[in-house]
Every structure is written in C-alpha cells, then in structure tokens.
Structure 1
Amino acid sequence: MTDRPKETTEFWRHPRFRDLGLLKARFRQHRYDRHTHPTYVIALITGGCERVSVGRVNLVAPAGTVLVVNPEEWHDGEAGADDGWAYRTFYPSLQLMTEVAGELGQHGPPLFAREVIADAGLARALALAHQGSTAAAAASAETSMLTALRQLILRHGQGDGRPEPVESSGSRRRLALYQEVIERNLAADLDLQRLALAAGVTRFQVIRDFKKVAGLTPAAFIRDRRLRHANHLIEQGASLAQAAAEAGFADQSHLSRTFRAMHGMTPGMFRKAG
C-alpha cells in the first residue's frame, strides 16, 4: 500500500509586490466553503485535479491548467481526484492588476471570462514567477512576475482591444539611461519602475529594451554590475561583508553564491590571490 501525499500549506508575500500573496499547497481532504476575495485568484494546478464552483458554474481544473477567479466572485474548491490536488496560487490586488493592465494600454481592471485556462506557455511563466518569488534577487522575481501577468492579461483578459504601447526605436539610448541609474544606485533596492520613470516608458518596455540591446533581463544586467562593483571593492581591500552591502547584495552569502556562479570560484579565493 503506497502512502498518499500529505496535506501541506505555505503562504508568503512577493518580495517586490507586497500586495501580492502567494500560496503553495497540496490538499487531499480539505474542502473550501464558498467564499470571496477582494483580490484575484490565479491558481496553477501542479498535480491531481481540483473541482470548483465559480458563481453558478461547476468546473474541473486538472494538472497543467490555470484557474482564474475575478475579485468578489463566489467560489469553493475540493479534490477532484482520489489523491487531491496541488497548486501554486497568486493573489494579486485589484490595484496591482489594474496598474499592469494600464501599462499594457488597457483601461480599468482586467476581467477573465474563462475560469479554467489550458495554456502551456502561461503555465510555464506562472511556475517560473511563483518559484522565483522566494529567490534572493528581487529584481529577477519582479521581471518574471510581470512577464507572467502580461501573458495572462493579453492572452486571456477581456481587454478593450487597444494595442500594447511599444517603443520601436531608441532602445540603445534608453539602455544608457538605465545603466546610469543602476550604477548610481547599486546599493539601493532597484526596481523596474525606477528605470521606467528615468526613460519615460513602461516597465514592459524596460524589459524589451534590455532583451533587444543586451540580450539579458534587467535583473541579469543589475546582477552583473553589482558583481563588478563588488570585485572592485574586494580588490581595494574591502571585507566580503562590506563589499556585499555596498554592491547591493542581500548579504555575504548572496554575494558568494553569485560570485561562484559567474566566476567559478568563491570571492574568498579571489581576495587571497591579491
């Protein structure tokens, strides 16, 4: 007789978007009573199957699908298979989703007509965003989260048909502005909004500009510049803890992991070499 998976629940807040809660759970016997949320509910089913009622509609959400519930919609949830279901869920606020939709050229909060969505690309993006929300690099978590929400809204939201605003030229000029802001604020909590404001564009345009010109995400570019600054400080005799703090790393361990991943050695080895 095989052991059935245990019920587990974890909940936390996104490191960049504090009005976005995240849940990782596995349930076999738990049953949600009918309830509402002031937020959206975006649930990536990662295992088993969930049976839900949204409004007056009864649905089944199998593994690999995305369940979306609009704010204030009545819904419940229970196991749709013998072993229950596992999921990674996002609870973005109405304000956050409205802001993201606005940057995509839409007016007002996005609404979703289909409760259960079968979209492998969206599922991959949501999985990456959910997993990345626990990483030390908040800039990377921000980029993956915005990318996933963009896919959800543009592919499956009931938009007003307006095209997403895209700046087709000036990427190199804007990248120079981004680089200036980054290098002046390495120790600060750099986010995409600061870069977007510097160039007068949306956060999504910032992501496109980095990909077009540098072939990187903004987070990868920031990480590279922070590491280069840490290298310089270590060469000048700074302690590893001091270099980590002044270069914008979360702590010395964060610096060491990044250093080893990018240089194949520890910062301690680099420092000993003189």
Structure 2
Amino acid sequence: MNEIDQPMSKDLQEEQEFWRHPRFRDLGLLKAKFTKHRYDRHTHPNYVIALITAGAERVKIGRETVVAPTGTLLVVNPEEWHDGESGCPDGWSYRTFYPQVEFLTHVAVELGRSESPIFRQSAIDDPQLRDAMTLAHRLSRSDDILAAETAMLVALRHLILRHTHPQSPPEFVEHSNARRRMAVYQELVEKRLCFSIDLQQLAAAAGVTRFQVIRDFKKVADLTPAAFIRDRRLRRANALIEAGASLADAAVGAGFADQSHLSRIFRAAHGFTPGMLKRAVA
C-alpha cells in the first residue's frame, strides 16, 4: 500500500492522515479532525504551518495563546514550544504542512532572501493565502506531480514574501546565565536519552542546585525538565523512524520503556501515531 492509499485512522470522531509530498520528500503533510485530542507542549526542528478548515483551535506558542477560527493559518517557527486543543465545542479540522528548515530556506533564497524565514505572527488571516495553501495541500495527493509542485511553490512564495521578517533574526529569550546553562542541560540530555536522567545530574553538570535547574527551564522554555526530556526523546524516535528503524527499536533507541510507551507519547504530541509516520516514509 503506498502512502496515497493509506486509510484514514479513526478514533471516535477523530481522524488523521499523514503523507509526504510527491515532489518535496522532506515536506510532510497532515490532514486531521480532532474533538477531544489535546497536544502536549512540544517542539519541532522544522516549521509547522496549519490551516484551520473547520471549528477552532486554541494554541499556546511560546508565551502567546491564540484561538484560531476557520480560515486562520497558524505558523510555528522551528524550536518554538507549542501545544494545541479545541477552541470550540465541536473541535477543529486542519490541513498541516511540516517543511524542513533547509527546504523552506532554499525556497526563500530563490525569492531573494538570504536567511531562513522567521514568521512575524503566529496566526495569519489572509484569504488569498488560505486559498493557495488549501490548493497546495489538496494537490499534494494528486497524480499530477508538476501541478502539486507548482501549487506548493506559489503558496510558499505568498507566505514568505508577505508574512516573514525580510532579513531580521528570530527574537530569542534574552541572553543570560540561564540560557547558557540550558545549553549544558541540553547536551547532557542528548547524551543520556537512553538512560535515566534526574535533576541532580542536570544540576551537577551546570554547577547549580536542583531548584536552579527548575527555574532555568521555566525561564527559558516555560516548561519542566521532564517535559523537555520527553520532547527530546520524541525527536530522537522520530529521527530513528525516518531512518528506517522499527518502532520497537526506535522506542528503545530514544529511551522509552517500550513501543506502547512511545506510541502513547508520540500521539499526544503529534496527533498521529508513529506507525503512520513509519508507513509514510517507507
């Protein structure tokens, strides 16, 4: 079964499909409907561009919370912490794009930009862009690959030229001792993903107390150390699956207790299962 033929996963009134663009293989796409699902706070190394097609979604991106109604385009820059849940009683449906940084940067360079795009706002109300993104998403399932490629580039051109900073760098949390310590914490976490990690280990690596570790994660990332470690394990598992590992091996290699543990955490963060990702990249 190829990825275009994949059946839609259904859970009560919730539906999800995930596939790859036929021309741009590093561009993932999701079509989903959620009623009760709630995304845990997480990050992506890539961009997330979500077009709300029905209902409304409530999202916290960084420290900003927005409610995006039908027709709104939600944009999350790489490494931005975000969650997501229903913003109305009937839930929400959306079409989502997951472009890798290298891919979107290449498109931006073709348009005369010299940097990776940084989006100015999280929620975009632009009817022309909405229509272009809808067409691009729909044609990504078409057998006409040239039409799919053209529609995607037209939509991304509009998105980049009208809704990104021309050349300015992203706005990070101000540099401080907390941010420098976060780099130490992250290095330790990446090295010990397959092992138990506790606050004392993080504190010892940075030469601070366990209480300071908690304050640093709150100040810089607005979340707990446990949530940060869970996110990094998810990213490791995702990379292993993309590289061809079995779901069981990806779970072990990323530090999860077992495959079911990975599946539960993965779906809570991403809205679809690791098995769907496995089939899409096969």
- State the TM-score bracket (shorter-chain normalisation): 0.5 to 0.7
> Which position in structure 2 is the counterpart of 1:22?
29
Deviations, residues 62-116 of structure 1 (Å, cap 9, x unaligned) = 0001000000100000000000000000000000110000000001100002000
Provide structure 1 residue ranges, at least 5 long, that are not aligned to the other structure: 162-274
- Runs in 1 of length 4+ with deviation above 4 angstroms? none
The Cα shift of 1:123 comes to 0.2
Match of 2:65 in 1: 58
CA distance in 2, matches of 1:108, 1:130: 25
AA in 2 matched with 1:62:
P
* 2:29 match: secondary structure: strand
Whether 2:134 is the aligned partner of 1:127: answer yes
The residue number in structure 2 matching 1:247 is none
Q: Aligned pairs, how many?
A: 157
SS at match of 2:112: coil
Matched, 1:141 2:123: no
Residue identity matched to 1:147: V
Report deviation, 1:6. Answer: 1.5
Q: State the partner residue of 2:51.
A: 44
Q: Secondary structure at the match of 1:83?
A: coil
| Cα-to-partner distance string for 1:213-250 (whole Å, 9 max, x where unaligned) | xxxxxxxxxxxxxxxxxxxxxxxxxxxxxxxxxxxxxx
Alignment map for 1:168-247 (pairs within 5 Å) = none
2:49 and 2:24 map into 1 onto residues whose CA distance is 15
Amino acid at match of 2:56: C
Q: Report the Cα distance in structure 2 between the residues aligned to 1:58 and 1:92, rounded to whole angstroms.
A: 23
Higher normalized contact order (CA 8 Å, seq sep 6+, divided by chain length): 2
CA distance in 1, matches of 2:163, 2:149: 21
TM-score, normalised with respect to structure 2: 0.55
Residues 154-213 of structure 1: CA deviation (Å, up to 9, x unaligned): 01011139xxxxxxxxxxxxxxxxxxxxxxxxxxxxxxxxxxxxxxxxxxxxxxxxxxxx
- Tell me which of 87, 93, 108 is aligned to 2:94: 87
Q: d(CA) in 2 for partners of 1:68 and 1:49?
A: 15
The percentage of counterpart residues that share the same residue type is 61
**Alignment map for 1:105-124 (pairs within 5 Å):** 105-124=112-131
1:245-273 CA deviation, whole Å, 9 max, x = no partner? xxxxxxxxxxxxxxxxxxxxxxxxxxxxx
Contact kept? 2:72, 2:123, Cα under 8 Å = yes
Matched AA of 1:108? E
Write out per-residue CA displacement over residues 116-168 of structure 1, whole angstroms, 9 at most, x where no aligned residue: 0000000000000000000001111000000000000001011139xxxxxxx
Residues 19-40 of structure 1: CA deviation (Å, up to 9, x unaligned): 0000000000000000000110
Q: 1:34 aligns with which of 37, 41, 49?
A: 41
Counterpart residue identity of residue 131, structure 1: R
Which letter does structure 1 place at the counterpart of 2:17? E
Match of 1:75 among 75, 82, 85: 82
CA distance in 2, matches of 1:65, 1:116: 6
1:67 partner amino acid: L
CA contact (8 A) 2:75 2:122 kept: yes
